[in-house]
Amino acid sequence: MVSKEQKKHFDHRGYLILKQLFTPAEVDMLREHFMKLRQSDHPGDFSGVDLQSSDPLKRFPRMIHMHRWDETSLRWLLDVRIGEALTALMEREPFAVQTMLYFKPPKARGQALHQDQFYLRVQPGTCIAAWMALDPCDQGNGCLQVVPGSQNWPLLCTVKADTTQSFTDVTVPVPEGTEVASMVMDAGDVLFFNGQLVHGSGPNHSPERFRRALIGHYIGGEAQEVAKYYHPALRLDGSPVALGTSSDGGMCGVWVDQDGKPAIEMHGVEELG
């Protein structure tokens, strides 16, 4: 499923798109399933829909940890195609810890640049995401954007984000001139990316198109700890695995000038808050 060249690309750039990993019929089923879920209340879904709000993200808030109460989400999280790809990329079978569904309706804000490992706090190792497009994604409707090669950076210290453009209020800065690549994808494509990789997305400027995405977060099979929000971890056969709980704090890096070039200097401890 993952060729030597694709593995090399992932190791060098920090991400890999596997085209049409899921069929159009599967995508249609998943898209319809989650739209129906969003229209009704379910135990474990605490997002709070506000149909009267002028904010599109209040009318279609993201869903988190659906696999804990929705069988369709659990089957997708543990799907053998995703598992085989992750095992090839990580060189070891991972553990599954989270599902998410971003609806990103027309005119919705995006998410500022960030690193997933900031939230998961995997020790040792890092996390990896499987990000599946349920709609065609491009710059117009706010496709994902990544900073190639940033998987080799440490965790960066966060700064305030522009909340007129991002629904999250923190971001990580990148030096001027840094490459930020747009992940243009078709429905059914799956983007795999390293948990250290800096990524985010811009607003959905489309007047009518959603940018729905189904995401699974996984951690390396060598991991011994993960942040408490991500327990219980599951093996790919669905059985639980006991892990310790990592602390919220940790060292983070800031950009400094080093002989006229940007470099990262570790700078204190940052708490999740």
The tens digit of pLDDT for each residue in 192-218 reads 999 999 999 999 999 999 999 999 999
Residues 56-67 have a mean pLDDT of 94
**If 0-12 CB within 10 Å is exposed, 13-18 middle and 19+ buried, where does residue 232 land?**
middle
The yes/no answer on whether domain 4-153+174-248 falls in CATH 3.40.50.300 is no
Identity of residue 158: T
Cα 74-76-78 angle, rounded to 5 deg: 70
Give the pLDDT score at 125.
Answer: 95
Give the pLDDT score at 273.
Answer: 58
Domain ranges of the chain: 4-153+174-248
| CB atoms near residue 163 (< 10 Å) | 12
From the list 157, 61, 62, 170, the residue with the least C-alpha distance to 113 is: 170
The two beta strands, 111-114 and 199-201, are: antiparallel
Q: Assign 46 a pLDDT band (cuts: 50, 70, 90).
A: low
User: Sign of the C-alpha dihedral, residues 24, 19, 192, 97?
Assistant: positive
Q: Assign 250 a pLDDT band (cuts: 50, 70, 90).
A: confident
Lowest-confidence range among 192-201, 218-227, 230-239, 250-259? Answer: 250-259
Give the pLDDT score at 249.
Answer: 75
Residues 4-20 have a mean pLDDT of 98
From the list 134, 82, 103, the residue with the least C-alpha distance to 37 is: 103
Residues 169-199 as b/e (b if ≥16 CB within 10 A, e otherwise) read ebbbebeeeeeeeebebebbbbbbbbbbbbb
Cα 221 from Cα 35, distance rounded (Å): 33
Has residue 41 got a pLDDT over 80? no
Has residue 21 got a pLDDT over 70? yes
- DSSP secondary structure letters along 214-226: EEEEEE-TT--EE
Give the pLDDT score at 1.
Answer: 82
**If 0-12 CB within 10 Å is exposed, 13-18 middle and 19+ buried, where does residue 80 land?**
exposed
Q: Assign 183 a pLDDT band (cuts: 50, 70, 90).
A: very high
